[in-house]
Structure 1
Amino acid sequence: MTLTIGQMLDRVFDPGTPVRFTAYDGSSAGDPDSRFTIHLANERAVRYIATAPGELGLARAYVAGDLSIEGADPGDPYDLLRTFRDEVEPHVPKVNELPEILKSLGLKGLRPPELPPQETPAPWRRMVHGLRHSKARDADAIHHHYDVSNRFYEILLGPSMTYTCACYPSVDATLEEAQANKYDLVCRKLGLQPGMRLLDVGCGWGGMVRHAVKHYGVTALGVTLSDQQARWAAKAIAEDGISERAEVRHLDYRDVTETGFDAVSSIGLTEHIGVRNYPGYFRFLKARLREGGRLLNHCITRTDNKHPGITRGGFIDRYVFPDGELTGSGSIITVMQDVGFEVRHAENLREHYAMTTRDWCRNLSASWDEAVAEVGPGTAKVWGLYLAGSRLSFEENSIQLHQVLGVKVGADGDAHMPIRPTWAS
C-alpha cells in the first residue's frame, strides 16, 4: 500500500494538531477547522522536507514557493510560529511505520532537490572563501546578509536605518523613538562630550556616527564591511551637513590604523567575529583607545556560557547569519577583563529586542508588496520567518541582548568614571 501525503503527515504529527495540512495529491491531515493551512504544492516540497526533517526542510520548501501558508501574514508569521511552538509536537514515526513511509516516498523522494538561491552553502563548502572568520570569508558573510538592498532595509527598518536592538523609553514608544533613545543611551554610557573622537565598528548605515556627531559634538569614524551600507551612510552624512566631523568607510575593523579614540562603540558586530576571536577583537579595540577611554559592546547573547558558540547548518546559519556565533554575557565580560578592560556596567535589553523585531515585522507586513518587488518573494519570506522567530526567541528567553561597558584604565587606576552611573538604568 502506498501512503498519501496526508497519511504520512499523520505519522509525524499527533492527532488533533491545530494546523491543517493539504497536499497536491488531494489528501489532508490535521485540524480541518484550523486558522492555518499549510499546503504542499508539489513533489519537490515533500523531497525538501523528507531530506531535511525539521525547520530547515520546511523553510526550503516555503522559500522556494513549494509550500504555501493560508491564514498567516508572510511579513509577520508570528502567530503561526507561536502555534507551532506551543501546540504542535512533531515526532519521529515508529520503527514499524518507516518501511511503509520510505516505500511511499520512493528513491526519488529521498533525493535532495537543488537548494533555493537564498541559501548559503554548508559551512564546509564556505571554505572556498577562506577559514572561518578570515577577512575574505567574513566579507562574504556580511555581503550575504547586509547587501540585500538598501531600499529593502529602508522598508524594513524605517527612517532610522538602524538594524540593531532599540531601547524603548516606554511600552508605547515608536520604533524611531526607541532607536534614537538607544543611540542616546550608548552616547551617555560612553560619556561623549564635544570635541571627543569616537570609533564605531560595524557601523551599519551610520546611525550611531550621525547621532553622536549631531547631538554630542564629537568627531566620529564608522567602519563597515558592507559596501552598500557605506554608500548609503556617506550620502546621509553629506545631506546632514556633517561631513567634516563624520566619516563611514567600507573597511574591515581590523584594518583601522588610527588610535587615541576617546570611545569605541560596537553595536551588533560581536555576533559576526567568532567566539575564539574575542581576545584579539577586544585587545584590538583596547589598543584604539586612549587611557580612560570607554568601550560599549552591544550584542545578542545566549542565556548561559556553556554553548561553544557555533551553530552549524540550521535555518539561521544557512539563510540569515552565515558563520554567526553567540555566547553568554559572562564569556564576553571574562574576555574583556582578561585583555585589560575594567568592566563597569552590564545591561540586558532582551525584552526590547522582542519589541524591536515586532516593529520590524510590522514594517515588512505593511509594505509586503513593495518588499517582494524589491528583493523577490523568497528573500522576503526569509526575513518574515527570521524576524518573527527571533521575536519568539527573545520573548521566551532563548536569547538575550547585552550591553557591556568597559574602561581602559591607566596605571594610576583612574577610570575617569562618575562615582555613580549618569545614564538611566
Structure 2
Amino acid sequence: MSRTYTIGAAIESLMRDGMPLRFTAYDGSSAGPEDAEFGIELLNERGLSYIMSAPGDLGLARAYVAGDLDLHGVHPGDPYAAFSLLMNHTKFRTPSPVEALNIVRSLGFSHLKPPPVPPQETLPRWRRLVEGLRHSEGRDADSIHHHYDVSNEFYEYVLGPSMTYTCALFPTEDATLEEAQEAKYDLVARKLGLEPGQRLLDLGCGWGGMVRHAAKHYGVHAIGVTLSREQASWAQRRIKEEGLDHLAEVRFMDYRHVEESGFDAISSIGLTEHIGVKNYPSYFTWIRDHLKPEGRLLNHCITRNDNRPRNTGAFIDRYVFPDGELIGSGTIVTAVEDTGLEVQHHENIRVHYAKTLAGWCKNLQDNWDACVAEVGEGTARVWGLYMAGSRLAFERNEIQLHHVLATKTTSQGESGYPLRHDFGA
C-alpha cells in the first residue's frame, strides 16, 4: 500500500540523524521540534526542485542562495548558530525503492527536473574542461577570477581595513581582527628572517598585505604576484598611497612567469590550496630554483586533518573555490623535502582561522545592506554560508592551517638558520 507524503514528512523521513531545527514548507507541513530556537522555511516549488534534483548539501545550498529557502533565528551574514546544528544533518539516507517512489509520487515527478542553477554557481568540475585542463594557467586564472574578482568594495566590508583574506594570528583572546592580521604578517616576516635590503617574493599576494608589511616594517624590496586583476589594481594604488612604491610592487601575473630569481625569501600565503596536489613537486621546485642559497620559504596553507586524498564538497567546488584542493600537512612537508629544501619548522594554527572567520562573519552581518547592494543577496548568502561552515570545520578539527618554514640549504649543509628558532613570541 502506497503512502502519501507531505514535504515535511518526506524531509523528516530522509534525515539520517533527525531534524535538529524546525522545518516548515509552503504546503503547510512541518517537521522537527516545535520549540526549536532556529528554523528552516521552504518557500516555493523551485526550492523543492533544487532539493529533490540534488539531494544533500548542493541542493540545499542552491535553494538557500536562490532565496527559496530561509533560515529563521539567525542573520544570513552569520548563520553559524543554526549551521552548527544543521552541519551534520545535510546528508539524506537512502530510502528503499518503494519508499523513494512514494515520496517522488507524492511531491511530484516534475520536481526531479533541476531548475536553472543560481548565477553564483560555476560549472561542475568535468564541464570546466572547456576552460583547460585542471590547474592549467587559463583554468587557474578563471578559478581565481570567480572567487577574488567579486568586488573590492565587498571585500573591504567583509575583511576590514587590512584587506587580508588569510588566517590571522591572535596574540591574545581579545585581540581585534586588525591586530591579529598585523601579527600574522609580522610572524611570517620574522620566520623568514627579513632584514633591510633583502628581496622578498610573495606568491598569491592578494591585496598586497604581506608586501606592504615587509616593505614598511622591514625595509625589504618586495614583489607580489596575483592572478586577480582587481587585487593587483587595489594593491598598487594602496602601495602608492602609503609611499612604498620605491620598495614594493604587486603584479597581475601568474607566478610561473616571474623572471627574477635569487630571492632571499619567498612567502606563499594561501596559494597552495589553488595549485593542485599533483603540482606540489613542480611548485616547490620552482620556489627552490628562485631562492638564493640559504634563502627561506614560508608556506601558509589550509590543510586537512589527514593525508587521505578526497574531492572538495560540491558546494565549495561550485560556489567558492573551483578546483581547490586540500591535503594534510604531511604531504606538503614531503613535497617540500623531496625538492631538496630543508624543513626547519612546522606549525598548526587552525584555531586562529576559526576566530578569523568569526570576525569576517561579523563584518558581513554588520555591513549586510551595503554588501547586498554591492554584489546582490545571492552572493552575500554564499559568503555567509561558506564562512560559517568553514568556521565550524576549523573548530571541529576537520581542516587545519599549517605554516611550513624551509631553507634552501647548500650542498655543504649551510642553511643560514640559527641554532634555535629566533622568531620569538
* Shorter-chain TM band: over 0.9
Residue in structure 2 matched with residue 135 of structure 1 by the alignment: 137
Residue 30 (str. 1) matches residue 32 (str. 2) = yes
Note if 1:352 corresponds to 2:352. Answer: yes
Change (3 A) 1:133 1:15: closer
**Counterpart of 2:417 in structure 1: which amino acid?**
M
Q: Return the alpha-carbon distance in structure 2 between the equivalents of residues 221 and 13 of structure 1.
A: 51
* Alpha-carbon distance, 1:18 to partner: 3.3
Residues 220 and 88 of structure 1: is their aligned pair in 2 closer, same or farther, counting only changes over 3 Å? Answer: closer
Q: Distance in 1 between matches of 2:322 and 2:275?
A: 11
Runs of 4+ more than 4 Å apart: 86-90
Query: Would the alpha carbon gap of residues 177 and 110 (structure 1) be closer, same or farther in structure 2, given more than 3 Å must change?
Result: same
Structure 1 pair 14–400 and aligned structure 2 pair: CA distance change class (3 A)? closer
Alignment of 1:372 with 2:372, yes or no, is yes
**Contact in 2 for aligned 1:15/1:30 (Cα 8 Å):** no
Work out the CA distance in 1 between the residues paired with 2:17 and 2:80: 23
**1:206-355 → structure 2 map (5 Å cutoff):** 206-308=208-310, 310-311=311-312, 314-355=314-355
CA shift at 1:62, angstroms? 0.3
Contact 1:353/1:391 (8 A) holds in 2 = yes
Task: For 2:395 and 2:173, locate their aligned partners in 1 and report how far apart those are by CA, in whole Å.
Answer: 15
What secondary structure sits across from 1:369 in the alignment? Answer: helix
TM-score normalised over the length of structure 1? 0.97
Which one-letter code corresponds to 1:11 in the other structure? S
Q: Is 1:120 aligned with 2:122?
A: yes
Farther-moved stretch of structure 1 (35-44 vs 91-100): 91-100
Conserved? CA contact 2:18–2:89, under 8 Å: no
**Separation in 2 of the partners of 1:169 and 1:424?**
12
Inter-partner Cα distance in structure 2 for 1:398 and 1:72: 24
Q: In structure 2, the residue corresponding to 1:179 is in which secondary structure?
A: helix
**Partners of 1:222 and 1:88 in 2: CA distance:** 40
Note the C-alpha offset of 1:73.
1.3
Deviation string, structure 1 residues 42-101 (Cα, Å, up to 9, x no partner)? 111111111111111000000011111111210111111111236788533344422210
What amino acid does structure 2 have at the position aligned with 1:405? L
Matched position secondary structure for 1:123: coil
Percent of aligned pairs with the same residue?
A: 61
Name the CA distance, whole Å, in 2 between partners of 1:204 and 1:302: 23
Cross-structure match for 2:394: 394
TM-score between the two structures when normalised by the length of structure 2:
0.97
C-alpha distance in structure 2 between counterparts of 1:193 and 1:397, whole Å: 35
- TM-align CA RMSD: 1.5
Give me the whole-angstrom Cα distance separating, in 1, the residues matched to 2:232 and 2:335: 30
Indicate if the aligned counterparts of 1:223 and 1:248 stay in contact, CA closer than 8 A. Answer: yes
Instruction: Read off the aligned partner of 1:216 and give its amino acid letter.
Output: Y
CA distance in structure 1 between the partners assigned to 2:89 and 2:286 by the alignment = 47
Give, in angstroms, the shift of residue 14 of structure 1.
7.0
Partner of 1:102: 104
Q: How many residues align?
A: 423
* Structure 1, gaps ≥5 residues long: none
**Could you tell me how far apart the structure 2 residues matched to 1:326 and 1:111 are?**
32
Question: In 2, distance between residues paired with 1:218 and 1:98?
Answer: 64
